[in-house]
Amino acid sequence: MQLDGIRLDAMRGAHLVQIGIDEQAHLDVGILEIQIDAAPAGEWGKPNSTLEEFMSDEEAFMRTQVTYRYLKSVMIGFFLCLWMMTGLSYAWEIQTVDNNGDVGQYTSLSLDGSGFPHISYLDFSNEDRNLKYAYMDMTGWHFETVDSEGLKGEYTTLALDSNDHPHIGYYDRANSALRYAYKDGSGWHFETVDTGAWIGWYTSLELDASEYPHISYHSHYPTYNLKYAYKDGAGWHAVTVDSLGDQGNHSSLGLDGSGYPHISHADWTNQALKYAYENASGWHLETVDEQRTPQHTSLTVGSEGYPSISYRDNTNGHLRFASKDESGWQLETVDSDGDVGGYASLARGESGLPHISYFDYSNYNLKYAYLTQGVDLIGEIQGG
C-alpha cells in the first residue's frame, strides 16, 4: 500500500479521528482527533513533512507507534485509519448536565450496560426539596422528578439493576426516615427502610447478586454512628458498624465478589477519611487521608477487591480521588477549579476507568468528570 502521500497534523483538544488519502474523511472513535493534513513545524522536522519523512526521523518514530487499518467506504472509497500513540496518558473530561435552577446537590452516579451515566440528585430550586433523576442515552440527557411530596431527595444514592432500572435510597426529612425508591416497567415504587431521630443521613446503596438492596447510612443525633442495612427474603436488617466517636458521615457502600460490604466514610472526631470492610473474621477499619476535613465520599470495589474513593477535600474546596492496590493507598486531586467536589459520586466503566459526578459550589451547577485514555502527542483533552 502506498503511504507517501499522507501528511500529518496533530490537533489538540479534540475527540475524533480524521483520515484521508485522496479525500478527507472522518472516523469517530470518541477519544481524540488527528487531522491527516500537515505536520506541525518543529515537532516532526520541517512543516508539511510526509509520513515517509516522519518515519525516517528516528527520534520521532521511536516515540510513536503507528498502527493502520485499510477501510472501504461506498461513498468515499478506500481510507486509512492511522492511530498514533506516544505512550498512554489520561485527562479528565468535564461537562455541565443540568443548570435549571439550584440543582446538583447530593448526586449519585451509576453507568448502565451501554456505559451511559444515570444520576440521582436534589432539586433545591424552591422550598419543597425534590428528588430528581437524570439519565443519558444516544439522544442526550433526560430528566425525571421522582419524589416531590415535600422535603425529599437529600442524601441520594443510586444503583441500576440488571435491566438498567434505577434504585434510589434517600433521606425523607419530613418524616425523619431512610427511604428507598425503585423503578420497574410499571413505574416508581417506595419503601421506608429505617425511622427514628435523624435516621438516614449520608446513604449509600448497592444491589447484591440477587438484586436485593444494601444501604450504609449515618444515625445522627444522639448516637452519631455508622450503620448498615440490607434486605433479603425476610425483610430489612440493620447493624451498627462504627460507634467510636462521630462516625459514618458521608458514607459510601460497595460489595465485593463475595457479597461482603466495604464502606468509606468521614470520621469527624479526627477529621479523617476512613474505610471499613467486612470479611469472614468481622469488620475492619482503616484511615485513608488525614487533615482534609473529608466530605461526600463515594466508593467502588474493583474485581480484585481493592477499593477506590472519590471525596471532597473541604479544607481546600477540591475534588479528590483515592485508590488502593497492593502497595497501599494512592491519592490525587481531580478538580481544583473554584469551590468544587460537593456530593461526589464515583462509578467505573467496563475499562475500569473512573467517572465522577459532583456539585460546583461556585456556579451552582452539576458537573461530571471521567478519566480518558489519550496520547502525549495530543496533550490534554479539553472539557466544557
Give residue 88's pLDDT. 54
Structural domains in the chain, CATH included, are 9-86 (no CATH), 90-374 (2.120.10.10)
Nearest partner of 147 among 166, 165, 132, 125, judged by Cα: 132
**Predicted local confidence at residue 89, as pLDDT:** 67
pLDDT score recorded for residue 370: 85
Residue with grid cell 462504627, as numbered in its chain: 242
One-letter-per-residue 3-state SS of 256-311: CCCCCEEEEEEECCCCEEEEEEEECCEEEEEEEEECCCEEEEEEEECCCCCEEEEE
The model's pTM is: 0.63
Q: Which residue has the cell 460497595?
A: 254
Q: What is the C-alpha to C-alpha distance for residues 194 and 219, in angstroms, rounded to an integer?
A: 10
Q: How far, in Å, CA of 155 to CA of 177, rounded?
A: 11
What pLDDT score does 107 carry? 83
Cα distances (angstroms) measured from residue 301 to each of 109, 154, 238, 277, 370: 15, 24, 22, 11, 17
pLDDT in tens, the chain (384 residues): 333 333 233 322 322 233 333 333 333 333 333 333 333 333 323 333 444 443 444 443 333 332 222 222 322 232 223 233 334 567 878 888 999 888 999 888 889 999 999 999 999 987 778 999 999 999 999 999 999 887 899 988 899 999 999 999 999 888 888 999 999 999 999 999 998 878 999 888 889 999 999 999 998 888 899 999 999 999 989 889 999 889 999 898 899 999 999 999 999 999 899 999 999 999 999 999 998 889 988 889 998 899 999 999 999 999 999 999 999 999 998 999 999 999 787 888 877 888 888 889 999 888 888 887 742 221 222 333
Specify whether the CB–CB gap between 227 and 248 falls below 8 A.
Answer: yes
Determine the 3-state secondary structure of 59 from DSSP: helix
3-state secondary structure 77-109: EEEEEEEEECCEEEEEEEEECCCCCCEEEEEEE
Helix residue ranges, H only, the chain: 51-56, 58-63
Question: Which residues pair with residue 354 across a beta bridge?
Answer: 348
Is residue 40 reached through a cis peptide bond, with omega within 30 degrees of 0 on the bond before it?
A: no
Q: Is the separation of the CB atoms in 16 and 29 below 8 Å? A: yes
Integer Cα distance of 65 and 136 in angstroms: 35
